Chain A
């Protein structure tokens, strides 16, 4: 075991999850430079947050997640707190559905993620309408959400693989 004390282990997980989530947010922001993803880069931070909250709930406390959202908003010029509110919805949904999802098949987890993304899309539409008094570009948001949904199984597989390696090396579930 790398850590003797449980608290140290959790702290390490929290720091690691924070750094990874922050990196995902910056990569997501950087993907805007790719012409095909202009204005609709896939939300890889959503996938990462969903899976981390599912398998390592203690690694993603509310305040660091909110901070990552705020940092993303500063880079992207979105309203302060917008991305944080999206992240908090994801955490809430995972918290609510964990008992069911933790023992579910990957396909079921994926379908739940897609349902959650659909709900987030409605939220994005509402916030956009309240802020700008107009509906957002439907095609762009649909592309972004659809691409994110397609990427999710890859992340799920990567994290499952990482967990298996961890268990093999003597870690816990």
Chain B
């Protein structure tokens, strides 16, 4: 009797271990499928995010209130000190403003003569941040607007300071924003002073790395980095960050937006949004030349650049002569 009970207990334990291992394998399989970017998985994720979004929103309210209260108390303590500093800043800024107005005027004149293409008009749509990354695995933020406000994948997300990231997933009333600090975020940028192109790469920390900068480019600490608009996904001219350190090949950038204190953001919605589908981008970047029968083709040319099929050339010349 005791032996039978012992056997049953051992059997239950064995079954428990088997199901535990199977579910663990299921989790690993889900992670692998998610990495494979299968559309069914993405849709499932979007639906689940839509369902959980209201709960996350409700839970965030008291946390945000407590954070805000603590920050207010800290701010009050610093108020006097900041007031003196601000008075100094106002004097300095008024001088800068005058200089900026002069530069703006000069810039407008230069644009009119150089034919710079102004990026397509975008409409900023305000959104509230519901959840910020609590893990270092992914730097992703959830916001409370989605398809209902015309948001699409690839839309740039900004604050008044500069770039926050881009939309990677859109639900009916929510969207997920890939922050520029995420390890998967690579943003084409230019140096503000010299316009050298480069790419910022996230590191899942609070700073970015600058890569693919041409060797001959000269850079300085505190230099402003802005989006270049290359690739057609993000509009050009949005401030990204400032160079914080240069150690040989390792150039570090501090984002210009304080990502730790994101409350509201603006999504730049474009009317004719290319999205960031690889196929669409490739078709834009490498669009074939229009077919034209009269066009001069490289096919059939010899080393001197003459057509090898001389009869065709002769016929053509005769027709022209006639």
Contact = CB atoms under 8 A, between A and B. Distances in A.
Contacts of B118: none
A90 to B, nearest CB: 11
A26 B52 CA distance: 9
A162 B26 CA distance: 35
Interface stretch (A10-18, A35-43, A102-110, A165-173): A35-43
A78 B60 contact: no
Given A26-B59, A34-B63, A76-B138, A88 B23 contact: yes
B136 interface: yes
B20 interface: yes
A34 B132 CA distance: 9
B27 A85 contact: yes
Nearest to B29: A81
Contact of B20 (A71, A88, A140): A88
B31 A82 contact: yes
A39 B41 contact: no
Given A79-B31, A140-B205, A33 B67 contact: yes
B259 to A, nearest CB: 7
Contacts of A128: 137
Contact of B204 (A27, A29, A39): A39
Contacts of B26: 66, 81
A32 B56 contact: no
Question: Which of B19, B60, B138 has the most chain A CB within a 10 Å cutoff?
Answer: B138
A35 B67 contact: yes
Given A75-B52, A75-B142, A40 B136 contact: yes
Contacts of B134: 28-32, 37, 39-41, 76
Interface residues of A, number: 50
B48 to A, nearest CB: 4
B205 A38 contact: no
B19 A62 contact: yes
Given A80-B30, A88-B23, A33 B138 contact: no
B55 interface: yes
A100 interface: no
Interface in B202-255: 203-206
Given A33-B60, A63-B23, A71-B52, A38 B137 contact: no
A160 B33 CA distance: 41
A33 B64 contact: yes
Given A76-B134, A81-B34, A132-B183, A30 B204 contact: no
Greatest chain B CB density within 10 A among A28, A34, A84, A140 is at A34
Contacts of B137: 76, 78-79, 82, 124, 128, 136
Main secondary structure of the interface of A (DSSP, over half): helix
Given A33-B67, A136-B137, A136-B204, A38 B56 contact: no
Given A26-B56, A30-B56, A30-B59, A71 B48 contact: yes
Nearest to A22: B55
Contact of A88 (B27, B29, B48, B67): B27
A32 B53 CA distance: 15
A74 interface: yes
Given A62-B19, A71-B48, A80 B60 contact: no
Given A33-B132, A74-B45, A137-B204, A38 B260 contact: yes
B91 interface: no
A140 B181 CA distance: 14
Interface in B89-138: 129, 131-138
A92 interface: yes
A21 interface: no
A70 interface: yes
B203 A137 contact: yes
B135 A131 contact: no
Given A27-B59, A77-B176, 20 more contacts: A29-B56, A31-B63, A33-B63, A33-B129, A34-B67, A38-B259, A39-B134, A62-B23, A71-B48, A74-B49, A75-B142, A77-B178, A80-B34, A80-B45, A82-B31, A84-B23, A84-B27, A88-B20, A92-B20, A140-B204
The 3 nearest A-B residue pairs measured at CB: A77-B140, A81-B30, A32-B134
30 contacts: A26-B56, A27-B59, A29-B131, A30-B63, A32-B132, A33-B60, A33-B67, A33-B131, A35-B260, A39-B204, A62-B19, A66-B23, A66-B27, A71-B48, A74-B48, A74-B52, A75-B142, A76-B131, A76-B137, A76-B138, A77-B133, A77-B138, A79-B34, A82-B31, A84-B30, A85-B28, A132-B183, A134-B203, A140-B136, A140-B205
